[in-house]
Amino acid sequence: MLRPEWVLILATILWGTSWLPLQAFAAQGISGMPMVLVSYGLIALFALPLLYWQRAAWWQQRWGVLGIVLFGGWANAALLSSLSLGEDLVRVMLLFYLAPVWGVLGGWLLLRERLTALRLAALLLALAGIGLTLGVNAQTFASLTAIDWLALSAGLGFALNNLATRAADRVPMLSKTVAAFVGSSLFAGAACLLLAQGVPTLAPSTWLWIALFAVAWLLLATLGAQYGVTHLEASRAAVLVVFELIAAVLSVAWFNDEALAPRTWLGAGMVTLAAVMAGWPERAPKQLTRSMS
C-alpha cells in the first residue's frame, strides 16, 4: 500500500507546477474560467455516469460528496483560474497557502483532531518558512485584486474539501475524485454565463494538449490529493501540501530564469522540515506490562 504522505507530496508537486501549462494555454488565447470549463468539463462528461454507477456506494455519505462537489469544485476552479490569469504567481500561491491554517483549525473544530505540540510546531515552522521565502511584509495584503480573492478563496475551499473528504471515508476514491471535477465544471460554467465569457476558437492541436493536460495532469493530481487526505488527519495533510508552494516557487525561478535569494533557500528548507515533522509517525503510548513468574 502506498504511503499517503508521499502520494500527497507528489500530487502537490503536480499542482505546484500546473502554472506552466496554464500559462502556455493563456498564450494560446484561453485562460480563467473558460479554461477551467473545458479542462474539467472534459473529465466531468465521464464523471457523471461513473457517479451514477457507484451511487449505492456513496449515497449514505451523500452530504460528504456534496461537500466535495462544492468545496473541492470551487478550490480547483478558483486556483486554476488565478494561476492562468495572474502575473505574480508567487503572490497567488502565498494567498492560497493560508490553507494550512484553515486545515489545522478545521480539523480541530470539526473533526475533533488533537493539536499535538509537534503538529503545531510544524505548522508554525511552515508558515514562517513561507513568510521568509516570499518576503511577507505589512503591504502584502494591503490591496487584494479579483485574482487575489480567487487564490484566497481557493485555499479556504481546499481546506474545507479536505475535511469533506475525511468525512466521506466510505465513499469510493474514484467517486470522490471525479465529484470535484463536476463541481469545478459547474462553477466555471456559471461564471462564464455571469461574466459573458465564451470559449475561444482554438487550433485542433491546442484542444489535444488541453485534453492531455486534463487527463494526465489534473486527474492524476486530484486522485493523489484525494488519496492523501483520505488516509491522513486533516491537520497533517494541511502541512504536507506546502510542497505545492515549494514546487511553485522553484519552478517559477527556474523557468523564468530568476536567481533565488538565500532567504528563499532557507525558507524552502524550513517548509521541507515542517513537512517531514508533520508526516513523522506519532509515538504510541507505552504500555506497562507486569512480568509473570
With respect to residue 293, please indicate whether it lies within any of the assigned structural domains: no
With respect to residue 249, please indicate whether it lies within any of the assigned structural domains: yes
What is the dihedral sign for C-alpha 259, 262, 264, 269? positive
Top-confidence range, 93-102, 169-178, 260-269:
169-178
Query: Which of 91-95, 108-112, 247-251 is predicted with the least confidence, judged by mean pLDDT?
Result: 108-112
CA 61 to chain centre: 22
Q: What percent of the chain has pLDDT over 70?
A: 83
Spatial separation of the C-alpha atoms in residues 126 and 75, rounded to whole Å: 21
Q: Where are the alpha helices (DSSP H) in 195-242?
A: 204-213, 220-231, 234-240
With respect to residue 289, please indicate whether it lies within any of the assigned structural domains: no
State the average pLDDT over residues 242-248.
79
Per-residue confidence at 158, pLDDT binned at 50, 70, 90?
confident
Closest CA to 92 of 80, 100, 103: 80
Instruction: Give the number of domains in the chain.
Output: 1
**CB burial of residue 156 (10 Å; 0-12, 13-18, 19+):** buried
Average pLDDT, the chain: 81
With respect to residue 140, please indicate whether it lies within any of the assigned structural domains: yes
pLDDT of residue 247: 84
pLDDT of residue 280: 62
Contact status, residue 237 vs residue 103, Cβ threshold 8 Å = yes
With respect to residue 92, please indicate whether it lies within any of the assigned structural domains: yes
Contact status, residue 230 vs residue 61, Cβ threshold 8 Å = no
Q: Tell me which amino acid residue 216 is.
A: A
Spatial separation of the C-alpha atoms in residues 14 and 20, rounded to whole Å: 10
pLDDT of residue 190: 95
Closest CA to 236 of 115, 71, 92, 68: 115
pLDDT of residue 80: 92
pLDDT of residue 81: 93
Spatial separation of the C-alpha atoms in residues 73 and 183, rounded to whole Å: 4
Let me know the angle formed at the C-alpha of 159 by 195 and 255, rounded to the nearest 5 degrees: 70
With respect to residue 187, please indicate whether it lies within any of the assigned structural domains: yes
With respect to residue 288, please indicate whether it lies within any of the assigned structural domains: no
The pLDDT tens digits for 68-100 are 999 999 999 999 999 998 877 877 877 787 666
Q: Is the pLDDT of residue 276 over 70?
A: no
With respect to residue 17, please indicate whether it lies within any of the assigned structural domains: yes
Count other Cβ atoms within 10 Å, centred on residue 87: 8
Contact status, residue 106 vs residue 159, Cβ threshold 8 Å = yes
pLDDT of residue 249: 78
Contact status, residue 51 vs residue 124, Cβ threshold 8 Å = no
pLDDT of residue 38: 95
C-alpha cell read off for 263:
532567504
pLDDT of residue 138: 66
* 3-class secondary structure, 268: helix
Spatial separation of the C-alpha atoms in residues 16 and 250, rounded to whole Å: 9
For residue 54, what are the domain limits? 4-279
Contact status, residue 179 vs residue 61, Cβ threshold 8 Å = no
pLDDT of residue 286: 47
Contact status, residue 154 vs residue 82, Cβ threshold 8 Å = yes
